[in-house]
Chains A and B, each alone.
Chain A
Amino acid sequence: MAASQNEDAFVEFERVQKSYDGETLVVKDLNLTMPKGEFLTMLGPSGSGKTTCLMMLAGFETATHGDIRLNGRPINNIPPHKRGIGMVFQNYALFPHMTIEENLSFPLEVRNIGKSDREAKVKRALDMVEMGAFGKRRPAQLSGGQQQRIALARALVFEPELVLMDEPLGALDKQLREKMQFEITDLAHRLGITTVYVTHDQTEALTMSDRVAVFDDGRIQQLDAPDTLYEEPQNSFVAQFIGENNTLEGTVKEIRDGIALVQLDDGELIDCLPVNVSKPGERTRVSIRPERVEFNKERLQAGAHTLKAEVMEFIYMGDIFRTRLKVAGNDEFVVKTRNAPDQVRLKPGEQIEIGWLPQDCRALDA
């Protein structure tokens, strides 16, 4: 098999396809390259194939087609126990009949590491996740968050270069989750571990990752750093899936000087950034983030197109105001404004004009 094309690629998926039943492809043409030390998150709705990808990497499923390479070596024929990949399972999979210490020393025992070495490593791993006092307990005697930390420690104790985590925080409450998010990223960066992290919580993906791969329908829809992903979604699925988003549907009138003129379905014209459209006459879905909508005329560019809007609802949320508008027939259009002393508080029924910078309004696929 061909050696890696990319010299500093640590994990590589090349044209990987996977089918369980021979009828439908669960993963369709997956291409992914990760450098060493990266924290990459796979984000996507349920059933989009994230776990499947992880399982192929860990060796519990085989790719139907394509190559997966680790450190330049194809791993299709390496059995799971020789891949040296640490894995944190969604249900933690701590062995219930062993104590915490025994759980942690298991990967060391099967590697024939001596007793004193083993004990030192187990202790270090437990201290790392601040669970040193719990070594003699059984998994069932720990809380969810503590079990999560043990699972993490167990995946790291044998010093793997690559760690896979499948929704490890899914079962935790919000507060604990946020704490653990921080702890995991901190640990991963401190130890320089390459991490593939699976979640369907987009906030988690945005806050933790170096890069996020957005999965849908067995494909990576977009693979970018969190800020790029949020600010420059490449298609309407990503725009919808990441963060809150307003969409308006219309047809492209003309494209000139990097600006697309779009006629909305109710006849009004707006300026957009053409992302997924190339020629007049194409249907498009226009995406605007709620915090980029402006209704203070003075802050808009001269000559910018504006739209009439009716205020439907005003919600006070403390740090921000959330105003629901009816725009071009869409009454789910949301505007978010910062709670500042000079901020206007709109009232339901008010008629206003809204606008935005053309680069904040992206014309995507319909």
Chain B
Amino acid sequence: MSDAAANQPLKTADGIPLKASLARAESRARRKAFLLVLPLLAFILITFIAPIGQMLHQSFYNEGFTVREDVVSGKRTPIMVNLKQWFDENPQGSEPDEAAYAALAADLLHLQELRAAGSAGTRINYERSGSRSMFTKGARNAKKLEPPYKEAILDLDDEWSDPELWQVMRDASSGYTINFYLAALDRAKNADGEIVMVDPERQVYVKLFIRTLVLSLLITFLTFILGYPIAHLLATLPLRYSNLLMILVLLPFWTSLLVRTTSWMVLLQSQGVVNDALVASGLLGDENRLQMMYNQAGTVIAMTHILLPFMVLPLYSVMRPINPSYVRAARSLGATSFTAFRRVYFPQTIPGIGAGALLVFILSVGYYITPALVGGADGQLISNLIAFHMQKSLNWSLAAALAALLLGGILILYWLYDRLVGIDNLKLG
């Protein structure tokens, strides 16, 4: 083809540019395909995108101090409106004056009428412990309050003058806040609205994020070391034996997670089977039984076992189709068996390693039940704290902020993986 012809856009027989004609021909097929995947799209939207969006929203929006929603009628009533107005009129750092206390008194009375003092107090309590009881007590006595309100309220409880409390109320009065993210990173705003670290004994989350990351990496590495040879064996054994072995690998999938975790407890606790056997065989003195349960070791052992199949299966799926003639060819070309493995076999399994590692890592970062059962105090992972805030402390916004940080971290890792290895190098099966 000459250069001139190559630069001309190609045309079909009747002169329509080839590109347009192709696009038209394909758009019908695309529309049809779209209709077919529509149910799935709707399903994902409802069960996946929407909850995640809801969670992300919750992590920086909490209306516990701004709106009272009646459980029965669903009627929404704004609360703390007077105080909010005072906050709007007086800039950050203003000393609360009589007007502020008057607004507070009016709002407390309103809370008492709505029976909402508990929930409003809880919202403040998230960031300043001990505040909930002040609100319930204040609301109970709201009717009796008379001017001057400042004295009356401080008479009830002189904690009301705490500048930190006023800072928290100022933040909470607007619904939107980044305070939960700050809390999830062990930070808070001080009385002047500056971001500072919380007291050292209350710094838990960053430590837990780091521990989660380190343990997940360790578990990923262990599953790789243990899984690679198994996957190789599976891929090279005659089908008859490999099927049997495959069943053994898959067995954990078919057993209840709880049953398996409990079995680990039976085996590994200090009065458990393993320790008993070691003591009985004289390898270990009775007084220094190994602590393999209710600590990080327990979490690592149990999770490595549980997540092993997620490493083995992707590895197996890339190893099975690797023709043995590649290694043979390498050998016949003069490579020792180690060189043949390193230069020819191993590189072809990298997509499986990437997929398995990513799978195991992401699963273990979010793992909850096993660390909860066998992790003890120092084997807990970040998801255990998320669950704690979801179920016990009912601080959903903090739970959401922690979860959002976790999600963000995983997305960053995913992006890094794509940059370093390339996501199209991933083979999941």
Contacts and interface: CB of A to CB of B under 8 A. Distances in A.
B85 interface: no
B332 A85 contact: yes
Contacts of A107: 333-335
Contacts of B348: 96-97
B325 A84 contact: no
B339 A60 contact: no
Contact of B329 (A59, A79, A82, A87): A87
Interface in A104-131: 106-107, 110-111
Interface string B327-338: 011111111110
A108 to B, nearest CB: 9
A89 B328 contact: yes
Contacts of B343: 106
B329 A89 contact: yes
B333 A110 contact: yes
Interface in B307-363: 323, 325-326, 328-337, 339-340, 343-344, 347-348
B330 to A, nearest CB: 7
B323 A158 contact: no
B328 A81 contact: no
A304 B410 CA distance: 93
Contact of B334 (A81, A89, A91): A81
Contact of A60 (B326, B328, B335, B336): B328
A58 interface: yes
Contacts of B344: 95
Interface in A83-100: 83-87, 89-91, 93, 95-97
Interface string A135-167: 000000000000000000011001000000000
A80 interface: yes
B331 A60 contact: yes
Given A93-B323, A95-B344, A110-B339, A80 B331 contact: yes
Contacts of B323: 91, 93
B333 A158 contact: yes
Interface size class of A (residues with CB under 8 A): 20 to 34
Most buried by A among B326, B332, B335, B347: B332
A230 to B, nearest CB: 33
Contacts of A58: 328, 332
A91 B348 CA distance: 17
A353 to B, nearest CB: 56
A58 B329 CA distance: 10
B343 to A, nearest CB: 7
Nearest to B346: A97
Given A91-B325, A97-B347, A106 B332 contact: no
A111 B347 CA distance: 20
A106 B328 contact: no
Contacts of A90: 325
Contacts of A97: 347-348
Interface size class of B (residues with CB under 8 A): 10 to 19
Nearest to B350: A97
Contacts of A80: 328, 331-332
Contact of A106 (B325, B335, B337): B335
Contacts of B332: 58-59, 80-81, 83, 85-87
A33 B428 CA distance: 50
A89 B325 contact: yes
A236 B253 CA distance: 59
Contact of A81 (B325, B326, B331, B347): B331
Contacts of B326: 93, 95
A60 B337 CA distance: 12
Nearest to A154: B333
A59 B337 CA distance: 13
Contacts of A84: 334
B331 A106 contact: no
Nearest to A60: B328
B198 to A, nearest CB: 51
Nearest to B331: A80
Nearest to B329: A93
Contacts of B329: 87, 89, 93, 95
Contacts of B347: 97
Contacts of A95: 326, 329-330, 344
Most buried by A among B333, B335, B344: B333
Contacts of B336: 79, 81, 110
A87 B326 CA distance: 11
A96 to B, nearest CB: 7
Contacts of B333: 81, 86-87, 106-107, 110, 154-155, 158
Given A96-B348, A97-B348, A106-B343, A111 B334 contact: yes
A86 B334 CA distance: 9
A252 B326 CA distance: 54
A93 B343 CA distance: 14
Interface string A335-355: 000000000000000000000
A296 to B, nearest CB: 54
A85 B339 CA distance: 17
B334 A158 contact: yes
Interface string A204-229: 00000000000000000000000000
Nearest to B339: A110
B178 to A, nearest CB: 47
Most buried by B among A85, A89, A110: A110
A79 B329 CA distance: 13
B325 A93 contact: yes
A180 B331 CA distance: 25
29 contacts: A59-B331, A59-B332, A79-B331, A80-B328, A80-B332, A81-B333, A81-B334, A81-B337, A84-B334, A85-B332, A86-B332, A87-B329, A87-B332, A87-B333, A89-B328, A89-B329, A91-B323, A93-B323, A93-B325, A95-B329, A95-B330, A106-B333, A106-B343, A107-B333, A107-B335, A110-B333, A110-B339, A154-B333, A155-B333
Given A79-B336, A89-B329, A93-B323, 17 more contacts: A59-B332, A80-B331, A81-B332, A86-B332, A87-B328, A87-B329, A89-B328, A90-B325, A93-B329, A95-B326, A95-B330, A96-B348, A97-B348, A106-B343, A110-B334, A110-B335, A158-B334
Interface of B: 323, 325-326, 328-337, 339-340, 343-344, 347-348
List the 3 closest A-B pairs by CB distance, nearest first.
A107-B333, A93-B329, A93-B325
Interface of A: 58-60, 79-87, 89-91, 93, 95-97, 106-107, 110-111, 154-155, 158
